[in-house]
Amino acid sequence: MIAVGGYEGERVAILGLGRSGLSAARALAAGGARPVLWDDNPDARARAEGEGFELRDLGREGAFADVVALVTSPGIPHLYPAPNPMIAAAWEAGVPVDNDIGLFFRALGQGAWDDLDTPPRVVAVTGSNGKSTTSALIHHVLESAGRPAQLAGNIGRGVLDIDPPGEAGVIVLELSSYQTDLARALTPDIAVFTNLTPDHLDRHGGLGGYFAAKRRLFAEGGPDRAIIGVDEPEGRSLANQLSTAPSDDRVIRVSSGAKLSGPGWQVFARKGYLAEWRKGRQVGAIDLREIRGLPGAHNHQNACAAYAACRALGLGPRQIEAGFRSFEGLPHRSQIVAEANGVTFVNDSKATNVDSALKALMAFDRVRWICGGLMKEGGLSALAPGLEHVVKAYVIGREAAGFALELSGVEAETCTHMETAVARAVAEAEPGETVLLAPAAASFDQYDNFEKRGEDFATRVRAAVG
């Protein structure tokens, strides 16, 4: 656990008692604070009370009279689409609002690491797509190279639940826009921006607010190195804002598909080959085409970002390549779950939006595509470039028939349930084809979350192919 100091003897309110809320309460208590906790869910309150924490209804009059700070869970809206009433009450009382990420960076700055020969370093990864894979890949490469590393944030352990880092330790954080938007301290040593596509727009008041939440990771703390995906205008703008000259190698630009040039530091992938250029010459390269855990252009972008982060941490190209080759990928993200009779079965249940599903489709040549679910705003027209790779679509979800009608020019069978879709795809797939679950939709019409959907797919595939 990372103990959070600076609040000794003071009351700090905690709103929201999921993983991050309870973790923050424990960390504050360990640092000498007196946490008071609240959640609208009585079961969550009972769990907190069972751990000996004091409960306080933060919605009642005067609840913040003796409170010096409020720590809120990332999932609770603090501005858009409307402020949570308890957060608004904290504002009215002049009480600073923070989250567990802000507490983490605050605690790290107060830690007793000055005596270490090599102090710990923090790599923070944000972006719309690929941040989980990028974070896990950085962590995996570090561990495979013998560097002590921990993975936390949106993936792995809660950020305050990790062990205090030791000599030369590296903490890799995956951070969502919900986390970066509110944290009062954001001071990573290396910050990574993967890409930007529309998501969570209601929570951030539009695309500009969403980008601004991501940008805070770079603007608030001034990382030593900024690794920026420049395949979208927002990334190019951010890289330009952070650079002081074309040769400024504190900014590492990364791309999947575009050859980058100039006197600075670039890492890019084209036609399956990763190349690192610095000061106008190539200094490293990796053939990504046969690395099974990183299929497709979207994963090549992840590989470029992870490569750049590991290079900034002092690893050599061959060390990084060895780590790439042993990386098996993350569950539900381009995860190979079976191979039988020349057919590959891939679980990309995390592809809950059109952009993610398109990238998954583009990664394979002949696809038997299992898709459908709770369709998001905007329709499916943006999938058009990937539909050329689809042999046939097998549509699931409560509104499968309507979803299938959106797939213009593709043979689509309305299956409704995963069991039927997997059975039909297995029966019809031919050698050289890929049966791909990439729903392009949320899971909540039939499953609790995308993980449950992916597990259902994997279980039925393995049962069908033996």
Residues 47-65: tens digit of each pLDDT: 999 999 999 999 999 999 9
According to the annotation, is 132 in a ligand binding site? yes
Domain residue extents for the chain: 11-98, 110-325, 335-465
According to the annotation, is 379 in a ligand binding site? no
Q: What is the 3-state secondary structure (H, E, C) of the chain?
A: CCCCCCCCCCEEEEECCCHHHHHHHHHHHHCCCEEEEECCCHHHHHHHHHCCCEECCCCCCCCCCCEEEEEECCCCCCCCCCCCHHHHHHHHCCCCEECHHHHHHHHHHHCCCCCCCCCCEEEEEECCCCHHHHHHHHHHHHHHCCCCEEEEECCCECCCCCCCCCCCCEEEEECCHHHHHHCCCCCCCEEEECCCCCCCHHHHCCHHHHHHHHHHHHHCCCCCEEEEECCCHHHHHHHHHHCCCCCCCCEEEEEECCCCCCCCEEEEEECCEEEEEECCEEEEEEECCCCCCCCHHHHHHHHHHHHHHHHHCCCCHHHHHHHHHCCCCECCECEEEEEECCEEEEECCCCCCHHHHHHHHHCCCCEEEEECCECCCCCCHHHHHHHCCEEEEEEECCCHHHHHHCCCCCCEEEEECHHHHHHHHHHHCCCCCEEEECCCCECCCCCCCHHHHHHHHHHHHHHHHC
Its CATH architecture, for the domain 11-98, is 3-Layer(aba) Sandwich (3.40)
Query: What is the reported pLDDT for 129?
Result: 87
According to the annotation, is 131 in a ligand binding site? yes
According to the annotation, is 128 in a ligand binding site? yes
Query: What is the reported pLDDT for 116?
Result: 80
Domain 110-325 has CATH 1.10.340.30: no
Query: What is the reported pLDDT for 168?
Result: 87
Query: What is the reported pLDDT for 86?
Result: 97
Query: What is the reported pLDDT for 466?
Result: 80
According to the annotation, is 127 in a ligand binding site? yes
- pTM for the model stands at 0.87
Decide whether 110-325 matches 335-465 in CATH topology: no
CATH of domain 335-465: 3.90.190.20
Low-confidence residues of the chain: pLDDT under 50: none
According to the annotation, is 130 in a ligand binding site? yes
Query: What is the reported pLDDT for 115?
Result: 76
Q: What's the pLDDT tens digit per position in 337-367? A: 999 999 999 999 999 989 889 999 999 999 9
